[in-house]
Amino acid sequence: MFKRIYIASINPTKVNAVKKVFLDVDVFAIKVKTEINNQPLNDLETIKGAYLRASKLPIDGIRIGLEAGVKIIGEQVILLNWGVLIDENNCVYLAGGTNIPLPSTFKKDLYENNLELADIMDSFFEQKDIRSKQGAIGIFTKDIIKREDIFIQIVKLLYGQYISNNCVEIKKILNER
């Protein structure tokens, strides 16, 4: 069994989610930069962001990348989340989570003005660093669900697949258009 877990983020909501799922394992938070946009604008970009984050971590343990993004369905902007776990044998596990609508007024800032959802949220709600606290999900569910909660669910899904050895061929997923 593994002795170390790396999370490709120093964001407290993501780090705490991993620590709450893997209670008796050392968790190391590492800030990782990827080649994707700061704000992924569809499922594939969000999956790619999670994968690239995880793939840049040290290989002497379990590597986890968690990513939040948005997508358009019809005219509606949707919040989404994906996670990737890469094990000691380079087997990749994939899990997605939340999909909830965001205000339609966010669409222009996200897709035309290239702003990050976190910045839009901070400005719109006149708060600071919502991404490290309850997140958009907390705001739009009146804190019934917090950002950490959605990442805990994704990490549990990843861990369950790891135990079941249900790995995916990530390159086939990432090459889809």
pLDDT in tens, 108-143: 999 999 899 989 988 988 889 888 778 889 899 999
CA 93/CA 136 separation, integer angstroms: 25
Q: Quick check: 24 and 143 in contact, CB under 8 A?
A: no
Whichever domain contains 34, its CATH number is: 3.90.950.10
Instruction: Show the domain range for 127.
Output: 4-174
Number of domain units in the chain? 1
Rounded (10°) CA dihedral 119, 124, 128, 129: -40
pLDDT in tens, 33-81: 878 888 999 999 999 999 999 999 999 999 999 999 999 999 999 999 9
Cα dist from 177 to 14, 82, 169, 172, 173, whole Å: 28, 18, 16, 10, 9
